[in-house]
A and B are shown apart, each in its own frame.
Chain A
Amino acid sequence: MKSKNFTECLFNFLGDPEGLTREDLISELREQGIDAAQLESRTIEIIKRASTDRRLAWVKRAQEKRARIEELLGSRKIVKTGSKIRDKIEEILRGNYGPQALSYAEAFFRKKEDLTEKDLETLLQDLEDLNLLITEKT
């Protein structure tokens, strides 16, 4: 490894903010034509926006999950069925019974183009047989 030359050492040393106070930094940046107050306000703007996005990330995830469920249920020609069966399927697809039940149900949906009420009952029966519906809800 080539050792660092004079210029690199000079820039590394001076560019390391360690040991410099806020006042030192403001004055140094001013020397370079950088307005510290403007810099701080741009930072606050970025953080406010990013913080809100981070806090609301769960909403986006929930919307995506909802859209996926709608897509799964909507893309299949599901016959009119009792609301209880549909509600239960929705809960499974929402992941309320855990990842294993969700994966099983998704695989089941992928295999079939048309779903009858009987198919949905079969799905629920399969899941019960596999003990995947007794998982405690989270």
Chain B
Amino acid sequence: MPKDMIRELLESADWNHIILQLTHHASYRAGRYIRKPRSTGLPGGKSPADVALGAIEKVWTGIRSWDPDKYPNLLTHLMWIVDSDLQHLFSSSEHQKTGRMPEHGSAEDLEGERASDSERTLHSTFDPETPEDQLLAKEERDLEQKLKTGLYSLVKGDQDLELLLLCFEEGLDKPESIAKETGWEISKVYNLKKRLLRTAAKVKLFSTGSGTSKEKK
């Protein structure tokens, strides 16, 4: 597609909505890393909003150019960039702390696009090989158990939300696959997402027990 046409598509996009969606995505994606044991938040004092805005700037300046013919969904493309940038941020930070090279590929390997949905798990850096790794893995399991206990007690008696949490236990995270497994309408899954967001706010989702992560700007 000619550059002028790509520019027109970019100019006509609803950026006020996109930035909200992208920052929301960046917050939760970063939250997965932040909830690791001994995490001190995003490296370099960045916020999820900074990462989302950075992704938008990269698309506009052509650093991570967008090919609408290949990837028609602009938001999906931006989310891939956010994922890649966060992975890069945390793997660089991990390398600085431990002096070891990250075990997964660099963010540049992604080239802005994931080949498929077979995303790498975030646990690849914590394969229990050394005593320190084993300790970290145990702390991570304890954190997860604490989160589960908190959530299950909050949704107790609400059969739908309890079933939704069981879906996560089974490794389901896509609304479509959850709808298929439970027999719910997709609109019901979205409504449950809204309810769970409100519930999750009560368990300090972005905290490892040492305080909440807040936007600094």
Contact = CB atoms under 8 A, between A and B. Distances in A.
- Whether chains A and B associate is yes
B171 A9 contact: yes
Interface residues of A, number: 45
B184 to A, nearest CB: 12
B215 A35 contact: yes
Contacts of B186: 19
Interface size grouping (class) on chain B: 35 or more
B193 A51 contact: no
Given A14-B197, A44-B15, A6 B25 contact: no
Contacts, number: 164
A15 B206 CA distance: 12
A28 B11 contact: no
Secondary structure at the A interface, as helix, strand, loop or mixed, is helix
B84 interface: no
B123 A5 contact: yes
Interface in A23-74: 24-26, 28-29, 31-36, 38-40, 42-44, 46-47, 50-51, 53-55
B189 A19 contact: yes
A113 interface: no
Interface of B: 7, 10-11, 15-25, 27-29, 31-32, 35, 47-49, 53, 56-57, 60-62, 75, 118, 121-124, 143-144, 147-148, 151, 165, 167-169, 171-175, 178, 186-187, 189-190, 193-194, 196-197, 200-201, 205-206, 213-215, 217
